[in-house]
Amino acid sequence: MLSSKQKLAVFLSKLRVFEVPVLSLEQYPTDGEIAATILWDAHMQGEIEGKAVADFGCGTGILGIGALALGAQHVTFIEIDPTIFPILMENLHFLEQELGEEYGNYEIIHGRIENYSTPVDLVLQNPPFGTQEKHADMIFVKQAISLAPVVYSLHKTSTEEYLKSWAQQNSARITTIARFKFPLKRTMPQHEKKMQHIEVSCLKFLS
């Protein structure tokens, strides 16, 4: 198991990311440093090691693979876009080569997260921000808190107040908010700069 946040960040930075992102699905890679910060915080809270974890909208798997590297008992990767699976599998094989096959206890599910109904200890997710479909991220939040007592979820910082209000009205608590400058490389037609940063918050929901 990786023994420091720095080692985790270095490991995650070596994983492959999207080659041809799908605009409608808002497929933005999660930065390795940001993922390591979120995962290490959860690890230090005792929320990963030995736990059943789900990575909703997993993409190429950085959050779930990070959880496996920190000793998760099992990780379920759920993704609607099967064209990503070859990269996801390559990243999982890299995990096993680097840390050992005992870290490869996982399941990959092709489908919508709304159709997943197995309770887990923790959900990790970087959902669509809702720029293509308004409140697309809320589909993820609602499903996640219905299945797990702890959820770490990434959202545009501009939606924080809405999420706080929603949580209060739906018997959920937001206990931690970490804010990041989320790097986005020019991978979409509407991107004008080679690299831009957007304000993103990771919210920790307790249900």
State how far the alpha carbon of 104 is from the alpha carbons of 5, 86, 95, 131, 155, in Å.
20, 16, 7, 34, 28
Range of the domain at 122: 5-206
Note the pLDDT of residue 180: 94
Number of structural domains found in the chain: 1
CA distance 57 to 79: 5
Give the CATH number of the domain where residue 9 resides. 3.40.50.150
Q: How many CB atoms lie within 10 A of CB 202?
A: 23
Return the H-helix or E-strand segment holding 44.
helix 32-44
pTM of the predicted protein model: 0.91
Note the pLDDT of residue 198: 83
Mean pLDDT by runs of 10 across the 207 residues of the chain is 95 87 66 96 98 97 98 97 95 96 95 96 90 79 97 95 95 94 64 71 96
Buried/exposed 157-180: b ≥16 CB within 10 Å, e otherwise = eebbeebeebbeeeebebeeeeeb
Please name the residues in contact with 26: beta carbons below 8 A apart, sequence gap of 6 or more.
128, 129, 131, 132, 136
Note the pLDDT of residue 18: 73
Sole residue written with tokens 């959820």: 151
Note the pLDDT of residue 49: 97
Return the H-helix or E-strand segment holding 50.
none
Return the H-helix or E-strand segment holding 41.
helix 32-44
Q: How many CA atoms lie within 13 A of 107 on its CB side?
A: 11
